[in-house]
Every structure is written in C-alpha cells, then in structure tokens.
Amino acid sequence: MKIFFIILFSALFIVPAVSQEKKNKLFNLDVLNFYSSEGTKSRVDIFVEVPLGRLEFKRSKTDKSKFVSKFDMNIDVTDNTGKVIYNNISKEEISTQETGQEYLSNNSQILTRNLFLAPGDYKLKVSINEKSTQKFSETERKIVVDDYTAKPLSISDVMIVSRLSQSTGKTVITPDVTRNVGNVDTFYLFYYVYKNNDDEMIDVSCSIFDNEKKQVFSKKDIITASEGSVFQNQMFVAVPTSGLAYGKFTVEINAASINNSVTEKSTFENQSFEFPLPLSEIDELIDQLQYIARDEEMDYMRDGKTTEERQKRFIDFWKKKDPNTSTRRNEVMQEYYRRLYIADKSFATTYVRGWRTDMGMVFIIFGPPSNIDKHPFDQDTKPYEIWEYFDINKEFVFVDNTGFGDYRLITPLWETYRYQY
C-alpha cells in the first residue's frame, strides 16, 4: 500500500509560548529515516512545519482575494568531517484567503524534502528567513542514517501521525511535526519492520512509557509469511490520548523472530497547547492560577507530595472548569491563558513579569477595558491611567509612582474578584 504525506494546510492549534526563543521560532522540524531502493542509501524525510500565525501576509498583487507570505528556506547537510553534501535554498510562498488571527493561529503548512544518504552520521541545519519582517529562525539536528539492508531484522524511525485517512484506495497521513499529541483524541505510530531473513514469523510489540518509566500503553502484532510477510512491513498503531497524562513519553518497538531481535525507540509529548509552560514547571503554573483559583484550591495543588501529584491536581482543576467535556478544547482555559500571555507581553516592567503586575491582574480578570484614559504628562501629577469597563460599570486607576512604568492600582482589588468566563 502506498503512503502519501499531506503537505497541505494541517489544522494545528498553536499558542505562543512565553520564552523569547519560542516566540521567535518560525517553524517546527522533524526528521525520519526509512529504507529506500537507492542501493545502500536510505531515505531521509525532512518535515518543516510553518505555523501561519508566525508569518506576515500581504495581499497578492495578481489575485486580490488572496494573501501571500514569502520566505527563503535553506537546508544544509554536512557529514562527520564537516563537508557539505547537500544544500538547497528555495523561495517558498504560502497563500491564504483568510487572515483572521484565529485562523492563522490554528493552521500551518508542512513542507517536505526527501534525501537519499549513505549510512552514517550527519548534521542537518534548516533555516527560514522572512525578509519582509527580517525574521530569521534556524534549527540544527543530528541525523543517524541506518543501513536497513545489512541487518536480518530492523525497524525504521517512528513517525507520529495526527490524522489518518483513505483516498481512492490510498492511505493519506498527516505527520505531527511537533510530536505533541495534546490536541487530538487519537494519534498513530507509523513505522516499518524490515525482514531480511528466512524466518516465517515476527512478533512485534509496541509499548509506551511515561516519564517515570511506567508502561501506559501496549499492543502486540504478529507478522507471518502466510499473510504475505515481505521485506517491508508497514505498521500503524492507534493510540488514544484519553489514557495519557500530560508530559513526555517514550515509545519502544520490539521485533523478534526465532533467530533475531531488534528494538527501536522514539519520543513524543502530550502537552496542552494552552499552557504557557511545560508541566515540569508545575509550581509556576500553579502560581499563575491566582486570578481564577481560590486560596484553598491553590494550597491543595501546592500540597501535593510529588511533582506528579501536583500536576494531577492542576489538571483536575482545569477539568472542572471545562464547559464542554465532550471536546478536547477547554474554552475557559484557552481564554485565561490567552489573557495571561497578552498581559505578560504588554505590562512587564524591569523586575516584574507582566502577568504579576496590577495591570496584568486587572486585564486577566476582566479582559481588555472598554476605554483607557492615559495621562502621562499632566502637570503636578504622576503619570496615571484610568481603565473603564462599561459592561460592569467599573473603573480602575493606575499610578506610576516611580516614573519607570510601574503602574500600581490605587484601590486594592478584593479577593472576591476572580476571572469569569
């Protein structure tokens, strides 16, 4: 059966991360190694996923109904001596008829390149340069190319697949370039078992282990000669995400026949796209709940004896806030972290994170004000701002007592005020 990689727009929810490095990153990268019929060379598939929300789109000069983003993509591959054995510079163009922020944030495009390399160690460097905005992003990755024809039994790299479908008798797959399954109900592990021996049966087991090396998923298959066992044996394993906690996971594939055995390992993560930090930063994630959680709720989360227990209590807190448990989207959580991200970006001072400032607090709890009355240079007064909220008939006054942009709320905000969706 032939496999086709989708390189059209792939729906993917992406929320900008807090770190400057992630905010500036223009693309995600995954590299996979498979057998090829090119002699002893193997096929190296390079997947470059470009989130649309990180690009600049301008109206097309030839088609006014479209908006276009243009950038240069450079791919270099060097061998272990530093010699460049592959270089490709391409001028890429992505077009769309929608430029709404929600659409751009929820869509991306996957660009693919297929190389044929002799077995060995290589270094891959991929960069994207958007000249119109002077945005530049670069990622390096080590590649180990295997010789699948030299071993009696071997396993290809493991692809994480976010969507699997059939079209005119062909299997169409969408690779999850981020290797983050946090936005799907079911994902797939796709790989090949290469049998280069006379054994009639191969036992194949697939196991997934969490960060504590506890097995959270397992599946066994048998490849037999009576079922047409050939050199290339294509494997798909469906994995539901409902049984996975948030965190990082290891995939372990074992293939064994009478005389031979082989193991291949891979990784993925189950991380909510809404969270501004990985779950390993659970203490700060709990701190960020101060504008929605009550004191006793935060104390309960902090009192977890282990990191895993605190993470579980944190996740359970958000599950209780989910207005529609039949979907994987948690609208309350998404809006809360959207406001937190904007507050962190807009109201930071020299020494205080934006979400911790008074302006950040008011913005997260009440959202954007209906009107802002700014007074930066009035005589005989310190700089101040008045935020008005017409829908709730409230106003908040902030004063910069230091002159360094550290605006403080002059009237305390009582504990009873909490973020409401």
1-149 under CATH 2.60.40.3880, yes or no: yes
Look at residue 241 in the predicted model and tell me its pLDDT.
Answer: 87
Is residue 313 left, alpha or beta, with left meaning phi > 0 and alpha meaning psi from -120 to 50? alpha
CB contact burial 215-247 (16+ within 10 A = b; e otherwise): eebeeeeebeeeeebeeebebebebeeeebbbb
Look at residue 421 in the predicted model and tell me its pLDDT.
Answer: 66
> Which amino acid type is present at position 319?
K
The fold of 151-272 is Immunoglobulin-like (2.60.40)
Q: Provide CATH 2.60.40.3880 ranges for the chain.
A: 1-149, 151-272
pLDDT-flagged residues of the chain (< 70): 1-24, 101-102, 225-229, 327-328, 414-416, 421
Question: pLDDT digits over 18-33, tens only?
Answer: 333 444 589 999 999 9
CB 195 within 8 A of CB 233: yes
Look at residue 18 in the predicted model and tell me its pLDDT.
Answer: 35
